[in-house]
Amino acid sequence: MKSSIRKNTYKAIYRLLDRVSPLNYDCGKLCGAACCSCGGDGSGEDSLDYDMGIYLLPGEDKLFTMKEAWLKWNIEYAEDYDFPESWFGKIYFVRCKTPPHCPREMRPLQCRFFPLSPYLTEANELKLVLSTVELPYSCPLITDNIKLEERFIKATYTVWKRLICDPLIFDLVQMDSEDIRLSSKNIVFIK
Ligand code: SF4
Ligand code: SF4
């Protein structure tokens, strides 16, 4: 899938997000790194639960070689899944083989944003909300609505402002936001 976001832009985004995290300490201590470990028990590739993983955003794959020993790669086709109509062709789905251990500076974006999600209002105004995705674990940052670091919120918002300039990513966020509005889920606005 053709992305308008250059490799260098993704690199700059990674660097910006390297400097922030949801709390000023490792939130994995609250939950045993639940959002890392639910995909496998770390004992090897065969033990991975293939339902869990991370979709890379269009063009984010430019930062990877697909030979990373800590990632299991799957190539899928957007038209086979619930993606916007503008999406077609290859999409990349990765699973971490050694959770919670990974090269921190190479964590995919969707991992870095959690528990925040972008949300576009009906007037297409960008907001950040707590993730409403159904998960097989519970994240204390969401269940206990723990106050997130302001720097993390700001950096995440800045990054999403840039990302939605890409039409494919805009369409994805718009579709997900519409789905959230149509569901009966409680929307917790963070910014
Ligand atoms: S984001 Fe939530 S689930 Fe993941 S490590 Fe932090 S507190 Fe745990
Ligand atoms: S990239 Fe690292 S931090 Fe993110 S889910 Fe995988 S193992 Fe956990």
pTM of the model: 0.91
Report the pLDDT averaged over residues 26-41: 81
Ligand 1 near 146 CB (within 6 A): no
What interhelical angle do 7-18 and 150-163 show, nearest 10? 170
- In the predicted structure, residue 107 carries a pLDDT above the cut 90: yes
Indicate which residue's Cα is closest to atom 5 of ligand 2. 36
Whether ligand 1 lies within 6 angstroms of the CB of 140 is answered as yes
Q: Which atom of ligand 2 is nearest to the CA of 35?
A: 5
Atom of ligand 1 nearest to the CA of 100: 5
Closest approach atom of ligand 2 to CA 107: 1
Long-range contacts of 173-182 (CB under 8 A, 24+ apart): 173/118, 173/119, 173/120, 173/126, 174/84, 174/120, 174/124, 175/83, 175/84, 176/117, 176/118, 176/119, 177/118, 177/119, 177/120, 177/121, 180/119, 180/129, 180/132, 181/122
pLDDT at 136: 87
Predicted pLDDT at 51: 58
CB 38 near ligand 1, within 6 Å: no
The whole-chain average pLDDT of the chain stands at: 92
The atom number, within ligand 2, closest to the CA of 106 reads 1
Domain positions in the chain: 7-182
Residue of 64, 93, 107 to mutate, ligand 2, most atoms within 8 A of C-beta? 107
Give CA–CA dist 142/130, Å, rounded.
7
Per-residue pLDDT tens digits for 65-93:
999 999 999 999 999 999 999 999 999 99
